[in-house]
Chain A
Amino acid sequence: AQSVTQLGSHVSVSEGALVLLRCNYSSSVPPYLFWYVQYPNQGLQLLLKYTSAATLVKGINGFEAEFKKSETSFHLTKPSAHMSDAAEYFCAFSDDKIIFGKGTRLHILP
């Protein structure tokens, strides 16, 4: 069965440090993968998506993600965290239907 696993329900990083949010998927077919961000009291908005055109995908706000088929991973990174990055991040997988991970809340320490 298809699934999406996000490692760590909470991640804390210092302002200016590297952000790494992990996402692994399970699928027998080539997936489409997404990262969404949810700021407090708002809906989700798309950060970036992978659609097989390139394994390294750049998104908004300086985020990027790399698709690694051998590791079935699609980790989200940002070189330097900013206080405004504090939010909840969801990895999502899509073939016939879209499946969301349980989310990782990112805390930025001053």
Chain B
Amino acid sequence: NAGVTQTPKFQVLKTGQSMTLQCAQDMNHNSMYWYRQDPGMGLRLIYYSASEGTTDKGEVPNGYNVSRLNKREFSLRLESAAPSQTSVYFCASSESRRSYVSYEQYFGPGTRLTVT
């Protein structure tokens, strides 16, 4: 099993350009997540999908959109990139996302995005 895969690994964009980050998992997990990681800020949740067909905003959703294409795939789109979106982006998945449930998350290797 590959676990959680992300493409691309690296990307450089100019301000105003758009792009889509791809994520796929082969663990048959219901829930998927997008985080950004910035120095000293830990991980901040951008969007999540509790199950196929649903998506919800996380802590920092502005400037992003997501699509849960099917159970395996969850993409993150930047419509008009800004320098403040320079970050490392991680996709993760878990078995479920319900109240008081202890399922751990499995992370992809990340995408390093630079917006100039």
Contacts and interface: CB of A to CB of B under 8 A. Distances in A.
B43 A32 contact: no
Nearest to A101: B42
B36 to A, nearest CB: 11
Categorize the interface residue count of chain A. 20 to 34
Nearest to B6: A43
Per DSSP, chain A at the interface is loop
A42 B40 contact: no
Interface string B70-100: 0000000000000000000010100001011
A108 to B, nearest CB: 20
Interface stretch (B11-19, B61-69, B104-112): B104-112
B102 A49 contact: yes
Given A9-B40, A49-B104, A97-B45, A44 B99 contact: no
B47 to A, nearest CB: 12
Interface of A: 9, 29-30, 32, 34, 36, 41-46, 49, 51, 90, 94-98, 100-103
Interface of B: 4, 40-43, 45, 90, 92, 97, 99-102, 104-110
